Amino acid sequence: MSYKRYFKSYDSFYHSAEWQAARQQVLDRDHYLCQVCKRAGRVTPATTVHHITPVRVDYSKRLDPANLETICKACHNAEHNERAMSLHDKRRKLKAEKRSDVFTFKANPET
């Protein structure tokens, strides 16, 4: 499956009525509190519903409340740091390519 087709199919899932209903059920169940922070002894408001087993790994669990938990944005970004890191690396690489005083050695910008 190509990335574009993958993104389009999951984008439509996250806008579906089924997902919106499951999301609301989990937010209500978890009282809009980050479950990761709660396990660490912190109380943090949250509005993101996270799939414990990713949708791309097991699509059948996409609406299973036992596979969903409310987490804050910081915890969600920590769970998905591979996406954030790759985007950061891409931006850094593009900036380095545009600068004349930066040389790239094994994908690490060196000034």
Does the residue 91 lie in any domain?
no
Does the residue 104 lie in any domain?
no
Q: Give the burial class of 7: count Cβ atoms within 10 A of its Cβ; 0-12 exposed, 13-18 middle, 19 or more buried.
A: exposed
Instruction: Give 110's pLDDT tier (boundaries 50, 70, 90).
Output: very low
Dihedral sign of CA atoms 32, 24, 8, 62 in order: positive
Whole-prediction pTM: 0.67
pLDDT at position 93 is: 55
Q: d(Cα 51, Cα 103) in Å, to the nearest integer?
A: 40
Tens digit of each residue's pLDDT (9 = 90 or more) over 4-60: 555 566 778 999 999 999 999 999 999 999 999 999 999 999 999 999 998 888 889
Instruction: Give 79's pLDDT tier (boundaries 50, 70, 90).
Output: confident
Q: d(Cα 69, Cα 28) in Å, to the nearest integer?
A: 11
Does the residue 85 lie in any domain?
no
- Give how many domains the chain has, as a whole number: 1
* Domain around 24: 3-79
